[in-house]
Structure 1
């Protein structure tokens, strides 16, 4: 793979539903994101701005953070406003369900 670890990516296709991520417990516990609770999950194809290499990524977006504490650390970390949407890229080791057969290869540092 020729893709640098850090580069900007551009969305190349419409999103498809997906995703759950592991929680830090002594046994397997996953936290799942569902549209019903204000989140949307997507499989997106991204293209690197340096090399043009394409990668598939799993992204979970919290579409409305207005129900979160206005003092939540994420607002300070990312310079966001209370209520803004927040999207997170899922990395290797996360559990993902896809509604149709597909191959996903994601590499995130």
Structure 2
């Protein structure tokens, strides 16, 4: 993988485990620390789509955020059954 490509795999609804995987250069992944009101802690993965200019203008994200394709990054948490591979920035070359 090059420095800016990540691979995302989305679990599909089948009787057995099937993932749909694709590479992207326009998505950034983040580990987000979360803390509940009771003090419980967890980590979640969030992704931001940095180039939405080619997305369908009727996509739900644009309606909810009241923006247009290409206006701004669209970010969301990843479901627990999805996988993201990103380059190791600390790996020796």
Normalised TM-score (structure 2): 0.59
Gaps of 5+ in 1: 1-16, 101-109
Match for 2:59 among 68, 72, 92?
72
Gaps of 5+ in 2: 1-5, 89-93
Paired residues for 1:46-65 under 5 Å:
46-48=34-36, 50-65=37-52
Q: Which has the higher strand share?
A: 2
Normalised TM-score (structure 1): 0.53
Match for 1:39 among 27, 37, 51?
27
RMSD value, Cα: 3.0
Q: Secondary structure at the match of 1:43?
A: strand
Rounded Cα–Cα distance in structure 2 between residues aligned with 1:69 and 1:98: 26
1:29: which partner in 2? 18
2:3: which partner in 1? none
Count of residue pairs the alignment pairs up: 82
